[in-house]
Amino acid sequence: MYTITLGIQPQRELPLDTTALTAFDVFAGLAGGIGLFLLGMHMLTEGLKLAAGRALEGLLERGTATPARGLGAGMTMTALVQSSTAVTVASIGFVNTGLLSLQNAMWVIFGSNVGTTLNAWLVAALGFSFKIDAFALPFVGIGAVLMLAGRTVRQRALGQALAGFGVLFLGIDVLKDTFSGFGAAMNLQDHIAPGFTGWLILVGIGTLLTVLMQASGAVIAIIITAAQGGLMSVEAACAMVIGTNIGTTSTAILSALGATSNARRLAATHVMFNLATGAVAILLLPVLIGLLGLLREWFEQPATPAVMIAMFHTAFNLLGVLLMVPLARPLLRLLTGHFRSREEEIARPRHLDAPSLAVPDLALRALRLELGRTQSFAVTALTAATRVPPDEPWIERQASALDALAPAISDYVRKLSAMRLPPALVEALAHSLRALQYQESAVSAVRQACALATTLGAPPGAELEPIAVAFRQATGALAASADAARDDFSAAAVAVRLEETELRYQAFKEALLLEGAHARLDIRAMQDWLRLASLERRAIEQVAKAARMLAVLDGDLTPQQAAAADEHSDTNGTT
């Protein structure tokens, strides 16, 4: 017999024949142990998700109102399902669907990083304290009985989780036996550069293993059993543990591909948090290990690599959360300015800036340019509504862009009106607000018309089709003429197109009434078509009114002429 020293662990005796392990023995032990651990982890996670899935979703949706609650929810869910990946993916999904805000989801992610450290404590506390198979096999047996004989889905899922828990520790037992023999024959650090360079290499190894296996818990179990078996020192193992934290971000990145801007921002939060935490941990590695050694002695914990690694894993994740307390808001502001979708980019004000407010005439010009953009959104939505079927996604994008810009425009007008302005500019601000109000009314009517048109389809009957087509074409022509962002925009052209559209509307309305009167069209269907035509007509009129207000701002119409045109339209029956 002879003795060797394993990291900080007291000397213990190992058999002389450990060097007799063949390459196949090592490969078989590693493959089998990792396979059992991954299988057990999968069974445990999936079983717990099935057994408590709705409760966990409810916790994620309702228990994240504050940063502290979000942090607690992330820790709780990850500890329960034993998978920070599952919690991260679920958080991204909730953000993607708008059920969870980015700010609250950030703290769920931070909490999940702390919650995942329970895995290391399970391995450290249960994996080396007693005969594992005597502990694990009953879980496998009881779980298998529940899986096969359970009467409900929840009972079978609980059985799967229990069996998975047992299989997981059988995998740890195989890894422990493999490394206890292999570690006596070699030390990993003999093949890696010493000092900071070696730590970086080990961080890279931990990252790579986690990316390949997509299971940080499995990699941490391998690291702990390898260190406990003498294959590496505590410092080397801790460096690899840092790498596992960085490696988990790959799943978040993959989950956010093709998702909404906020979902991509959340994935970026996960990456930046883990990278920042890892950077601080690697820089403070010797200091942290020394402090944790003192803490371990104070709590009278056993001086084993497994306990030290578990303590380190928890400590540096808690350190990361502490770092985020002052940095979370700046990080949120930083990310809000990035990963913008095309829709968000379109919806940003392009002309309303603070410097222009200092010169009221310049500010009014900027306001007119921005209102030209919102007018384009309104007329584009109206044009899309004339298609059969209407292009609902495109309409919603245009309407959402206008919805996003409207508060910015109103706020800009408020700031401008707070200054001492000449009467002409005050009147111009009133025209600007009226134009915006007309645009919002037009988009509201378009949305309602789109929802109704989607259910109606094409007009029934050969007699109605050409009349409906003529009305749609006239509407499209008016929308094009009312686009105030065009160089050839003029109030006169809008007036001509509006008269033509009104004639086409009246013809379509008359045809619908005749079809209903002759019983060639169901009365209820006729009423639906009349309502659709009325909604489109309202959108047309609101777009035209907005165009007149913009023409007043351009000086092409006087306020009196615009008011007279509005009165003429109302007299003809438009609203």
Query: 94 near 60, Cβ under 8 Å?
Result: yes
Query: pLDDT per residue over 334-378, tens digit each?
Result: 887 777 666 566 767 878 877 677 778 888 888 888 898 898 999
pLDDT band for position 144 (50/70/90)? very high
Within a 10 A sphere around the Cβ of 523, how many other Cβ atoms? 10
Rounded Cα distance, 501 and 540, in Å: 8
**Pairing relation of β-strands 9-14 and 2-6?**
antiparallel
So what's the pLDDT on residue 230? 79
Within a 10 A sphere around the Cβ of 517, how many other Cβ atoms? 11
Element (H, E) at 9: strand 9-14
Question: 53 is written with which tokens?
Answer: 């899935």
- Out of 269-278, 461-470, 551-560, give the one with best mean pLDDT: 269-278
Query: pLDDT per residue over 420-445, tens digit each?
Result: 888 888 888 999 999 999 999 999 99
pLDDT at 250 over 60: yes
Query: 360 near 349, Cβ under 8 Å?
Result: no
Average pLDDT over residues 210-238: 84
pLDDT at 11 over 50: no
Which residue would you say has higher pLDDT here, 455 or 185? 455
Give the rounded distance of the alpha carbon of 73 from its chain centre: 17
Task: Identify the sign of the CA torsion 459, 463, 466, 467.
Answer: negative
> What residues contact residue 307 under an 8 Å CB cut-off, 6+ apart?
124, 296, 301
Rounded Cα distance, 572 and 384, in Å: 26
Query: 73 near 64, Cβ under 8 Å?
Result: yes
Amino acid (one-letter) located at 481: S
Question: 267 is written with which tokens?
Answer: 């994935």
Query: pLDDT per residue over 111-128, tens digit each?
Result: 999 988 888 888 887 665
Query: pLDDT per residue over 283-331, tens digit each?
Result: 988 888 888 888 877 877 667 888 889 999 999 999 999 999 999 889 8
Query: 227 near 237, Cβ under 8 Å?
Result: yes
Question: 299 is written with which tokens?
Answer: 């709590």
So what's the pLDDT on residue 1? 35
Task: Output the 3-class SS for 453-519.
Answer: HHHHCCCCCCCHHHHHHHHHHHHHHHHHHCCCCCCCCCHHHHHHHHHHHHHHHHHHHHHHHHHHHCC
So what's the pLDDT on residue 18? 43
Task: Output the 3-class SS for 295-350.
Answer: HHHHCCCCCCHHHHHHHHHHHHHHHHHHHHHHHHHHHHHHHHCCCCCHHHHHCCCC
Rounded Cα distance, 224 and 214, in Å: 18
Arithmetic mean of pLDDT over the chain:
81
C-alpha dihedral, 79 to 80 to 84 to 89, nearest 10°: -150
Rounded Cα distance, 565 and 574, in Å: 11
Query: 442 near 385, Cβ under 8 Å?
Result: no
Domains of the chain are: 2-7+19-339 (no CATH), 350-571 (1.20.58.220)
Query: 241 near 305, Cβ under 8 Å?
Result: no
Within a 10 A sphere around the Cβ of 458, how many other Cβ atoms? 12
pTM of the predicted model, to two decimals?
Answer: 0.56
